Amino acid sequence: MNDTRHQRHVLVLPDRDAAEEVAEALTERFGVAEEPQVVRDALAGEDDAEDAQWLVVVEDPDAAYDAARLDALAAEHEGWREAE
């Protein structure tokens, strides 16, 4: 049986420091049980390391995390949230 409530949130941040701060804040503010993944995402066709985004991937198996709060957290660090 497929659990339709399971969500994955992807927070897109401008740099590694911001991504690491957001990952830490997720644990502190949201009580995220599973440590969020911090992933470097090079933009398509870009060779320059400066042209990379950093992603914080949050698994939300019970759809318990408030999307508006996640949006606000990402915005505090000049980023945004994408739901998958």
pLDDT of residue 56: 97
Alpha-carbon distance 42 to 25, whole Å? Answer: 24
Distances in whole angstroms, Cα of residue 45 to Cα of each of 1, 14, 34, 41, 50: 39, 17, 32, 12, 13
Q: What is the pTM of this model?
A: 0.83
Q: Where do the H-state alpha helices sit in 4-66?
A: 16-30
pLDDT of residue 15: 95
Low-confidence residues of the chain: pLDDT under 50: 1
Alpha-carbon distance 48 to 21, whole Å? Answer: 23
Superfamily of domain 7-83: ACT domain (3.30.70.260)
| pLDDT tens profile 47-59 | 555 568 999 999 9
